[in-house]
A and B are shown apart, each in its own frame.
Chain A
Amino acid sequence: MKIVIINYGAGNIQSIKFAIQRLGYEATLSDNAEEIKTADKVIFPGVGEASSAMEKLRVTGLDALIPTLKQPVLGICLGMQLMCKHCEEGDTNGLNIFDVDVVKFDASKKVPQIGWNQIENLTSDLFKNVNNKEFMYLVHSFYVPLNDEAIATTEYGIKYASALQKDNFYGVQFHPEKSSKAGEQILKNFLEL
């Protein structure tokens, strides 16, 4: 199986590569369109600031490529947010795969949310063998409101969408590669889709 992690200079991609290795698979890092197109599974990572990450995608032309991919694609954290229509952070237009806008948590709680929180209302094969209310590690200041494409929800002052799916595109706000055994199970499920 060919697994490609999109490498566009945004994020801690070593951790994802290592997590995939622990599952017995190998992943390649690439920003090459041909490499990405011919992969069986594509992982779209990202941490940091939305507008500068989006700019990096534009420079490499990956912003046009990603929405056209046909194989399973998993966006993680900022990767998932960039797959949405618009991000409040840096007033950034996203890849418009998910039909929803990313907005900032209000100041009634600490921002960023950092730590382990639960995922519920799990409605996707991505969560096979994962318990309802399982703990995942999250670090984020912006969130995706509840919407029709939500496949998991989390509560932080409000209930929001912590995972999304549309056709072959999946997105998770949490870090499966940092979320202990349950996180690894989710990565495994994705790789075995």
Chain B
Amino acid sequence: MLTKRIIPCLDIKNGRTVKGINFIDLRDAGDPVELAEIYANSGADELVFLDITATEQRRKTLAELVMRVASTINIPFTVGGGISSVEDVEILLNSGADKVSINSSAVKNPQLINDLAAKFGSQCIVVAIDAKQIDAEWIVHLVGGKVPTDIKLFDWAKEVEERGAGEILFTSMDHDGTKNGFANKALAYLSELVNIPIIASGGAGNMQHFTDTFIDGKADAALAASVFHFKEIDIIDLKKELRNNNIPVRL
């Protein structure tokens, strides 16, 4: 049976993990590769690296990091952040990334999804969507949720599927950072609306939240950062709990 995936997310800047990592067993708390290896060996199903570097060396630094990650870990990983062209994606995939995630660049240039899917296949194209509710309507936001667009979440989700996205990573800006649980109502609606996998993101605070997003939110995977980085939730314990709730997991 296909299992539900647990995906830790690592924020990267200049090839280093950004603050907020509290792993006592790390030799170098800023080394994404070492952290990735620990996650790969402790039950994570996939990893997401989100690059927030804004310098001109970004592309080269990121490609080098991707190659180090690919040579070290034996589970799949996705790279996102600032990807805006076919060439960007080609460099990352050739460096060993399994998938890339695009966000603002897809909103600004939706044809990019078609181009990437045609060249590399849908299976490696994740479209990340940040949205929050405005007057009871889910609205797509850009720049980490700061800038609203006039695009509705569900219209956009349908469109990215039609254009060839292989997965949708949906982050609710209303839930992100609250630790009060995922946006399960919107997630469940999304999951029924499109026929590609949905990754839930934003709001993880405890193990029950993961159970809820897989059952009520009908999510195919759940992504979180701080609850894993600060060891508030151990992934193996989480998976045992999920299995006890009859949710299929890889253990």
Contacts and interface: CB of A to CB of B under 8 A. Distances in A.
B221 interface: yes
B40 interface: yes
A116 B98 contact: no
A18 interface: yes
Interface string B1-22: 1111100000000000000000
B2 A115 contact: yes
Given A156-B2, A180-B40, A14 B70 contact: yes
B74 A110 contact: no
Contact of A183 (B74, B93, B97, B119): B74
Interface residues of A, number: 35
B123 A14 contact: no
Contacts of B221: 115
A135 to B, nearest CB: 4
Contact of A48 (B70, B121, B250): B121
A64 interface: no
B96 interface: yes
Query: What are the nearest 3 A-B pairs in CB distance?
Result: A14-B96, A48-B121, A18-B71
Interface string A14-26: 1100110110000
Interface residues of B, number: 34
A18 B93 CA distance: 14
B149 interface: no
Contacts of A116: 2-3, 5, 45, 250
Given A178-B74, A178-B76, A14 B3 contact: no
Interface in B187-203: 195-197
Nearest to B249: A116
A85 interface: no
B220 A47 contact: no
B133 interface: no
A36 to B, nearest CB: 21
Given A110-B195, A114-B197, A19 B74 contact: yes
A155 B1 contact: yes
Contacts of A49: 118, 121
Interface string B103-138: 000000000000000111111100000000000000
Given A15-B96, A18-B71, A48-B121, 18 more contacts: A12-B93, A12-B124, A15-B70, A47-B124, A49-B118, A110-B220, A112-B166, A113-B2, A114-B197, A115-B4, A116-B45, A117-B1, A135-B250, A137-B75, A139-B76, A139-B166, A180-B40, A181-B74
A68 B166 CA distance: 35
Interface in A134-182: 135, 137, 139-141, 155-156, 175, 177-181
Contacts of B122: 112, 141
Given A15-B98, A110-B196, A47 B123 contact: yes
Given A178-B98, A183-B74, A184-B74, A114 B220 contact: yes
Contacts of A177: 74
Interface string A43-69: 000011100000000000000000000
B84 interface: no
Interface centre among B98, B121, B220 (most CB of A within 10 A): B121
Contacts of B166: 112, 114, 139
Contacts of B119: 48
A89 B122 CA distance: 13
B98 A112 contact: no
A111 interface: yes
Contact of B1 (A19, A118, A139): A118
A107 interface: yes
B47 to A, nearest CB: 11
B180 interface: no
